[in-house]
């Protein structure tokens, strides 16, 4: 593969930006400066830019700690989208896997890997998702039982059995575990119990957990280990 393609695919910059980097003699292949954009490299070659190793990756996987006020979409006429939190050169081809409501915060996975996204979002695919919630009124053992039995709304919508672990310190705080991803699911489940969600933060998707060091609005690439985890979800 050409060095400019390798660098652009690794999201170092656009094709014209990476050509510039090569011309400025900032790119090294196996320790030797590479001045030719058409130079061919293989996946075994060591490619460095400014002393940093550039790993070729076919797809990218990011974890975002979504802040409130952003919609989980790639574009929207009126609202800010989660992609607005990423710089232009990373944004290309990226989309959120699944959805968090505009006012929800926490773990959101973004990728350009359509196959993985399709698999994770399939309604047949039941992956546990954990959320921290705060409610208007205290939660009760009756709520725990109702969540566990599965909730049926008056319009016939059915939610499968869900976990509700109420905090010992504050009965208006709980961790909810659901295995589906229906529209406003937790808010509607809580409303069916004549209560209201005031705050909702996604903590994990399957075995992938939100990095506690990641502040709201910040993102980072998944580590190799985390990428391995999402492949087996």
Catalytic residues: 101
Q: Which is nearer to ligand URA, 101 or 211 (CB)?
A: 101
Cβ 197 to ligand URA, closest distance in Å?
Answer: 7
Cβ 48 to ligand URA shortest distance, Å: 41
The CB-of-158 to ligand URA minimum distance in angstroms stands at 15
How do beta strands 52-53 and 208-209 pair?
unpaired
The helix or strand, by DSSP H or E, that contains position 97, with its residue range, turns out to be strand 95-97
- CA 40 from chain centre, in angstroms, equals 33
Residues that bind ligand URA (CB under 6 A): 100-101, 104, 184-187, 200
Output phi, psi for 225, to 5 deg.
-65, -45
Of residues 30, 107, 34, the one with CA closest to residue 67: 107
Give me the residues paired with residue 154 across strands: none
Q: Return the H-helix or E-strand segment holding 62.
A: strand 61-66
């Amino acid at each position: 593969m050409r060095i400019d393609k390798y660098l652009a695919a690794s999201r170092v910059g656009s094709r014209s930006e990476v050509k510039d980097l090569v011309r400025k003699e900032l790119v090294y292949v196996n320790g030797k400066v590479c001045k030719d954009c058409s130079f061919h490299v293989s996946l075994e070659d060591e490619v460095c830019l400014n002393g940093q190793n550039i790993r070729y990756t076919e797809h990218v996987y990011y974890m975002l700690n979504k802040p409130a006020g952003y919609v989980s979409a790639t574009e929207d006429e009126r609202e800010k989208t989660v992609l607005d939190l990423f710089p232009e050169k990373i944004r290309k081809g990226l989309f959120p896997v699944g959805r968090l409501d505009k006012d929800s915060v926490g773990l959101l996975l973004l990728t350009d890997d359509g196959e993985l996204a399709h698999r994770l979002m399939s309604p047949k695919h039941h992956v546990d998702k954990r959320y921290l919630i705060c409610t208007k009124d205290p939660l009760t053992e009756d709520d725990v039982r109702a969540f566990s039995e599965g909730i049926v709304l008056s319009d016939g919508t059915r939610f499968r059995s869900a976990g509700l672990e109420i905090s010992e310190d504050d009965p208006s705080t709980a961790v909810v575990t659901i295995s589906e991803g229906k529209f406003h699911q937790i808010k509607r489940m809580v409303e069916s119990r004549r209560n209201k969600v005031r705050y909702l933060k996604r903590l994990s998707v399957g075995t992938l957990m939100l990095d506690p060091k990641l502040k709201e609005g910040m993102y980072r690439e998944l580590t190799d280990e985390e990428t391995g985890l999402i492949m087996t979800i």
